[in-house]
Structure 1
């Protein structure tokens, strides 16, 4: 029985991934890599900068420095987030409707999470129940951040439902002994991405927040949709 929910952040709560991959598409040609934002999102959604850069260096024979590249991207993103970052449509209403305890577990660092949640008006929903991969040894697809969230909150992993937009996050949830739902509500995702989430182990793939609400309602996790 599900009695707790753990949300990923980027691409699930906030529409940040579309901005991040647009920056990658803009900057990567300077490093010898040409990929569209859609290609990057499908391949590297939920993947840390270091892992993405390692994969790109292997694929394209480049020698990108992961730390410098991340700093370059984050400098570009800072201004975009301040003016363009939004909560994904329907997410504040869904959070307001939840009947069970919930938390956030993300690959982003805590400082970025605090900033993004404040910018999008979601910070008060989570209070101290915010967990980052920087607090554990391994990021997703390892289960560490989900297990940290469950242990800290006093939840049994098998009673947790994870909401994720990336295959690596779904794999991490499965490794943690948790059920998961794939989410396509972020602007970086398309209906054809449902297959990569199902293949990773998602028990259901929701097209948007309304679809996600309906699935969670059937599990008894939410009440009336609060506007």
Structure 2
């Protein structure tokens, strides 16, 4: 029985992936790699910088330093997020209506999560329950960050439902022994991506926050009147 929810952040709570991969699209030609934002999102959504850079180096025979590349991208993103970052429409209301405990587990670093949640006004929902791939040995698609979140919160993995927008995140949830719902409400996703999330193991794919709200309500995880725990 599902008694807890673990949210991914980028592309689920905040509409950051469209901005992030646009930065990668601009930065990577400096390393003789030309990939569009859409392809990057499909391949590396939910993946930590170190795993993404390792795969790019193997694929293109490059020698990009992951720490230096991340620092370069994060500096650009910090400026971009300050002016352009938004919460995904309806997510604050959804969080406010949940009747079960929930947490956040992301591939992003803690400093970036703090910045993004503050900018979008979502910090108050996750105080003390924010977990990052920075805190574990392996990022998604390994299950480590989800297992860290569950262990720290005192939850059994089988009692958790993960909300994810990327195949790597869905795979990570499955490897952690958790149910997973796919989410396509971010600007970097479209209806055609439903198949890749289902193929990765998502039990259901929500096309919007309203769709996700309806599904969680059917599972008994959101109050019928939207008042949440109160």
Q: Which residue of 1 aligns with 2:105?
A: 105
1:97-137 C-alpha deviation (Å, 9 max, x unpaired): 10111011111111111111111000001110111112222
Aligned residue for 2:99, secondary structure, equals coil
Q: What do the CA deviations read for 1:128-187 (whole angstroms, capped 9, x no partner)? A: 011111222221111111111111111111111000011111111111111000001111
What corresponds to 2:191 in structure 1? 191
Q: What secondary structure is seen at the aligned counterpart in 2 of 1:162? A: strand
Three-state SS of the structure 1 residue aligned to 2:64 is: coil
The offset of 1:204, in angstroms, is 0.5
| Distance (whole Å) between structure 1 residues aligned to residue 98 and residue 46 of structure 2 | 24
In the alignment, which residue of structure 2 is the partner of 1:15?
15
Matches within 5 A, 1:1-227: 1-223=1-223, 224-225=225-226
RMSD in angstroms over aligned alpha carbons? 1.1
Deviation at 1:225, TM superposition (A): 4.1
Shift of 1:72: 1.1
| 1:32-57 deviations in Å (ceiling 9; x for gaps) | 11111111100110111122122222
Whole-Å Cα distance in 2 between the matches of residues 50 and 114 of structure 1?
20
Aligned-pair distance for 1:61?
2.5
Q: TM-score, normalised by structure 1?
A: 0.96
Corresponding residue pairs, total: 226
- Which runs of no fewer than 5 residues in structure 1 stay unpaired? none
Extract structure 1 runs of 4+ deviating beyond 4 A: none
Distance 1:48 1:136 in 2: 11
2:147 and 2:29 map into 1 onto residues whose CA distance is 37
Task: State how far apart, in whole Å, the 1-side matches of 2:125 and 2:155 are.
Answer: 18
Quote the Cα distance in structure 1 between the aligned partners of 2:116 and 2:103: 16
Specify the SS of the correspondent of 2:185. coil
Structure 2: gaps of 5 or more residues = none
